[in-house]
Amino acid sequence: MRPVTVVWLFAFTAIRTATATECADRHIFSERPSTGSLESPAYPTPYRGGLSCLYNISTVSSNVIHLTFVSFDLAESNRNSGQCLEAYVLVIVVDRLGKEHIGNRLCGSTLPSKIETMQPTVYVQFVTTAPGREHRGFRLRYEIIYEGLIKEPPSYVPDDEKAFARECGGSTKPGQLTGEIVSPGYPVTYPRNTTCYWLIRVEPRQRVYIRLAHLHLSATIAECERASLSIIDGYKHDSGIVRKELATDTSEARFCGSQLYYTEEGMKSYLSSGNRLLVSSTGSMLISAAGPSPYHEWVLTDLEDTADATCGQIAPVV
């Protein structure tokens, strides 16, 4: 019998998948203020499924990072769960203590709002579990900005209280080391339905010490939602999400009622972690001369003077 020779022949076809060159982790670092852009792989053509891209944008501590989406076209959220499942962008802001603040998943075709952080590190993650088909992906512009250019948030004074507009909000001048913040109309009255912001900023190697000298917003501390005063660390990351740990959050101090509730010195003073401090005042009630508005005085101290073993001595201005 003639021997039979069996030959196996394998044929294979190379299937293109998302390779490292299509979705490589990208690290962008700049010491100086600058701008640039990021795009999803293959943008503006439809993205592929199975992607997990991470973009790391960072700079030095004297700068901050802002993100603006200029184009955004991903699969819509799931109809049943409302979650972004087929494709999403996740923005993770890393604060100056190294804590990561994870935002909500972004998907669909609605252009997300501008993200203005006070931090020097931001991660942008792009994940897909299904091909984009007709969806083009996203493109964003990042801005690395010197923190000294960041102003206080805009204050709000209603039309019927415009007489107080010049007294509501403001900022310190370069080189200013002492001063006072007085509420609009003090000590006679306080305008209703106003939100005022004051920014106290000093040189990068200095900190801000602020002390509450007088406070009378309401007769009881229970009316905090109607009138309050907040002292906020200038580099606090505001995610817009209310969390349970706010009670132990040392990056913000909130005052309500009157100074009778704040008897200890430590309860009515605040030392910033950096060179920026934000004072916010909100009120929805009219306060008459019988109940004067908050009055503050603040002084500054150099960071090196408070970082030693004795924590330094800070004397308020009198």
pLDDT tens readout for residues 206-227: 999 988 888 888 777 878 888 8
pLDDT at residue 88 above 80? yes
User: Which of these ranges, 23-27, 31-35, 53-57, has the smallest mean pLDDT?
Assistant: 23-27
pLDDT reading at 286 higher than 50: no
Predicted local confidence at residue 289, as pLDDT: 35
* Phi, psi of 91, rounded to the nearest 5 degrees: -105, 125
Query: So what's the pLDDT on residue 283?
Result: 79
Give the distance from CA 177 to its chain's centroid. Answer: 26
CATH code matching the domain that covers 26-146, chosen among 3.90.550.10, 3.40.50.460, 2.60.120.290, 2.60.40.420: 2.60.120.290
Q: Where are the domains of the chain?
A: 26-146, 159-306
- The predicted pLDDT at position 18 comes to 41
Identify the residue with better confidence: 38 or 9: 38
Quick one: pLDDT at residue 33? 98
What value does the mean pLDDT take over residues 127-153? 97
The per-residue pLDDT for 310 is 33
**Which pLDDT tens digit goes with each residue over 153-205?**
999 999 888 988 999 999 999 988 888 888 888 877 778 889 999 999 999 98
Residue 7 has pLDDT above 60, yes or no: no
pLDDT at 287: 42
Higher-confidence residue of 37 and 305: namely 37
pTM over 0.85: no
Q: What confidence tier does 284 reach under pLDDT thresholds 50, 70, 90?
A: low
Enter the tokens of residue 289. Answer: 């001369």
Query: For residue range 226-242, what is the model confidence (pLDDT) as tens digits?
Result: 888 899 999 998 765 54
Mean pLDDT over 139-154 rounds to 97
Q: What is the pLDDT of residue 235?
A: 94
Mean pLDDT of all residues belonging to the chain: 82
Q: Do 26-146 and 159-306 share a fold?
A: yes
Q: What is the pLDDT of residue 272?
A: 92
Where is pLDDT greater, at 86 or 291?
Answer: 86
CATH entry 2.30.110.10 includes domain 159-306: no
